[in-house]
Amino acid sequence: MIRHTSTLAATKDLTMSTPETLPELDPQYPEVDVAIVMESTYPYLKGGVSAVVHDILLGNPDLTFGIIHLTWDSKAPHEDLYGMPDNVAWVKPVYLSMEEHQADFRDLRPSDLGMSARQRTVLSHRVFDAMDAIVAGDMDPFWALYDEGMNPHTRTYPLWALLGSGEFMAALRRRMPALDLPLTDLFWQMREFFSLAAAVLGADLPRASVYHAHTTGYASLMSAAGARMHGTDFLLTEHNLYVRDTVNTRLDRNMALPVTATDYRTFDVPLADRAWMAWWIEMGRLCYPSAHTITYLYPKAITEAADLGAPVERSVVIPNGMTMSEFNDVAGQRDRAMEDILAGDPDRTWRLVYIARVVPIKGLLDLIDTIDILVNERGVTNLVVDVLGPTEHLPDYYQQCVDKIAAKGLGDYLVFRGTVNVRAMLGDFDLLVLPSYNEGQPIVVLEAMTAGIPTVGTEVGGMAQLIGDPLTRPGGQTWDACGLLTVPGDAVMMADRLQDVFADRAGYVAMAHNARGRVRDFFQLHDVTGAYNQLYRELAHLPQRTAAQSSALADVVTELAMSPAQQHDLEDQLERLARWLEAGAPMGVSHGEGS
């Protein structure tokens, strides 16, 4: 997460004016079909969201993409950890730190506005009027200010220069008397907000037919600005509820606790925290109603987001997905392990796996308590937990875990493996344990399901839909649960559920069978990438794929997943596919050389 991240976000309002002529393009950043806008993740950080975005790129070779990567400053990581597919035309970093924008913000003076004192007073009150209008659900005043003072293609004055004026500080005192802070503190608080907004809203963005933000944070605000700047559209994907998560992080609350649009007015918190809550929540409300479409990973997220101002009528569910064939070998390994499990040896060692970063939100300390209960209180010693994932993100927390394991004498039962190739090891494990306080629709659970491995995890985010709720496919077949759910932070309940699994081996085998069946019928990657393709084409006003084209693309993407060593063959297929699409022909129709 970017330091001081906010949920400022918005998109173009079709009722307002847009530039009459489009600006010249920077040749370094040619126009693309879709600009994916990320916040401190893809392609410079590994993780679930990054993996999803990479799958979207690979699954849509018939579209062109650019990547806008928002991060704090130029010292942040800039190593491509994925390898850009050929359909990605560019990657553009954008920095939020004021130190990276001295000429654009820090060096501005009130005189740069070219206004009289009276005009600066009027403009100051317009800023606060626009903020009040957002609370009332009217976004037009904000976007009028954006066009006049922020949009690099239409602005007639630098709005950011207003901050240093006495007129603005006087208006701030008058309009926000509840902010009972010394004037110096008020100035620095507003300076922080202004500088972050300036970095995002003042950026000159490459042109795209669709701007696709993968969070309601700065990525959404930038996507909204890009869409307005170029007269195109903005698509928002919520991998998790960013507003809720940033507020809970700021207040050091349980990450599973809900947040609503009015909480900043009622929570008993310091004024600085209240200001940040208002910033995130109200700017989040600016985003939601303006987005053309908002996609969520699971149905319950739509209801949760509605409490923060998201319009239900613009919401659709597009889950994460897997390619089944990638897991055929490991699924076969698990099938063979079933014979051993069903044999019923009471001394059989259960191989459990925790796959996540070693950070508080993932609940490893709680899992250590669970293993302590099983081993030291209940005498259940036929188990071992492998901890797979990076340990360097929060060294103090990692050391807490190490010390707790040692203090409880659990060194033989919890083993840190660090960052490893998870898929190469997955077949060795019987059960995934996920004690998280916060998840969206975790890729690691889908990977385990596709391998035929049940999960015992906390009921957060989309976990109930993923592993617990019955899922019925068209035609009537219903898949039952492929795991068991617990309450976040309840180590005893987690211990109970693990013992339930150990005691019911036939039930374990049924859950393993259900896991792979649920993926096959509801979480296939080619369905996911096809859904995004349809949305992109609708928003970009491009013709939809034919059924034959969709089938051929699915074959190509599957080949990418199945045979990484045959890249030259895949490139030939993509080149042939591009010629077919350009000619507008159905798949399989010959068009000369290379058909």
Percent of the chain with pLDDT over 90: 67
Give the position of tokens 């006495």: 166
> What global pTM score does this model have?
0.83
Residue 68 in contact with residue 34, Cβ under 8 Å? no
Domain ranges of the chain: 32-317, 324-522, 546-561+568-595
* Predicted local distance difference test score (pLDDT) of residue 475: 80
Top pLDDT among 513 and 550 is at 513
* Predicted local distance difference test score (pLDDT) of residue 550: 67
Q: Write down the mean pLDDT value for the chain.
A: 86
Taking residue 280's Cβ as centre, other Cβ atoms within 10 Å add up to 27
Do the domains 32-317 and 324-522 sit in the same CATH topology, yes or no?
A: yes
Contact residues for 440 (Cβ-Cβ < 8 A; gap 6+): 48, 238, 239, 240, 297, 298, 301, 461, 462
* Predicted local distance difference test score (pLDDT) of residue 286: 86
* Predicted local distance difference test score (pLDDT) of residue 180: 67
Q: What is the pLDDT of residues 47-83, one digit of tens each?
A: 889 999 999 999 999 999 999 999 999 999 999 999 9
Residue 484 in contact with residue 510, Cβ under 8 Å? no
Is the predicted pLDDT of residue 336 greater than 60, yes or no?
A: yes
Q: What is the pLDDT of residues 80-113, one digit of tens each?
A: 999 999 999 999 999 999 888 876 777 789 999 9
Top pLDDT among 30 and 585 is at 30
CA dist 237 and 217 (Å) reads 11
Q: For domain 32-317, which CATH number applies: 3.60.21, 3.40.50, 1.20.120, 3.30.70? A: 3.40.50
Least confident of 34-48, 119-133, 471-485, 575-589: 575-589
Q: Under CATH, what is the fold of the domain 324-522?
A: Rossmann fold (3.40.50)
As a whole number, mean pLDDT of residues 500-513 equals: 95
Q: What is the pLDDT of residues 549-595, one digit of tens each?
A: 666 665 555 444 433 333 444 344 444 444 444 444 333 332 233 32
* Predicted local distance difference test score (pLDDT) of residue 85: 95
Q: What is the pLDDT of residues 172-214, one digit of tens each?
A: 989 887 666 677 888 888 888 888 999 999 989 999 999 999 9
CA dist 15 and 138 (Å) reads 12
Beta strand extents in 275-324 (DSSP E only):
293-296, 315-317
